[in-house]
């Protein structure tokens, strides 16, 4: 049974990345997951909204782990920024610009219409900000500068994803990376 729930969560996350919340139907989710339709309400009695909130939280953790592993492997803040943006560009190109962050995709759709999902996406963005802040503090930035840099990194990355998907080009990611690197270098100066 846990396998069925995991398949539903994974399939939903994949579909949200490509189609968003409103573009993804429950029948499509169970078909992708290879699960019976009733399993949605068995595992998620609150229906699509409960499923989406759980997917947002689990996808948020997975993306955070991925990005933090990239940042932790880098020798410093500038290299970490360059590596994370290069990885994002590779992912977009490899998937034909179909796969991006499911959190931002859903957040854009629900921020003013669904308080439960808005709060779930906001919580994920805050968790990312806290994790990014911790990395910048480790690289020697004071807490206030570290938080600002983490926010700049996240917002520019998420915004660049949107533009890259629309333009079918990684130019926005390249420009965002340069801007974040410049912000990091400026914050390093005494």
What's the CA gap between 164 and 131, in Å, rounded? 25
Single pTM value for the model:
0.88
Please, what are the domains in the chain?
49-188 (1.10.357.10)
Residues 121-175 have pLDDT tens digits of: 999 999 999 999 999 999 999 999 999 999 999 999 999 999 999 999 999 999 9
Query: Which pLDDT does position 1 carry in this prediction?
Result: 63
Mean pLDDT score, 14-25: 89
Instruction: Please report which confidence band the pLDDT of residue 70 belongs to, taking 50, 70 and 90 as the band edges.
Output: confident
What's the CA gap between 13 and 142, in Å, rounded? 35
Contacts 24+ apart (CB under 8 A), 78-84: 78/181, 78/184, 78/185, 80/135, 80/139, 81/153, 81/177, 81/180, 81/181, 81/184, 82/177, 82/181, 84/153, 84/157
Q: What is the mean pLDDT of the chain?
A: 92
User: Does residue 190 register a pLDDT over 80?
Assistant: no
Instruction: Please report which confidence band the pLDDT of residue 109 belongs to, taking 50, 70 and 90 as the band edges.
Output: confident
């Amino acid at each position: 049974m846990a396998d069925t729930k995991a398949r539903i969560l994974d399939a939903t996350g994949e579909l949200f990345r490509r189609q968003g919340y409103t573009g993804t139907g429950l029948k499509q989710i169970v078909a992708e997951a290879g699960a019976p339709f009733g399993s949605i309400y068995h595992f998620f009695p609150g229906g699509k909204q409960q499923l989406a909130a759980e997917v947002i939280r689990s996808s948020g953790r997975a993306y955070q782990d991925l990005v933090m592993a990239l940042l932790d492997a880098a020798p410093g803040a500038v290299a970490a920024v360059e590596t994370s943006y290069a990885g994002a560009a590779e992912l977009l190109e490899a998937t034909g610009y179909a796969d991006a962050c499911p959190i931002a995709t859903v957040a854009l759709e629900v921020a003013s219409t669904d308080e439960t999902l808005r709060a779930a996406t906001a919580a994920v963005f805050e968790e990312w900000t806290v994790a990014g802040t911790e990395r910048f503090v480790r690289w020697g930035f004071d807490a206030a500068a570290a938080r600002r840099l983490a926010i700049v990194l996240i917002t520019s990355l998420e915004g660049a994803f949107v533009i890259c998907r629309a333009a079918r080009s990684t130019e926005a990611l390249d420009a965002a990376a340069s801007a974040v690197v410049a912000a990091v270098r400026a914050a390093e100066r005494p």
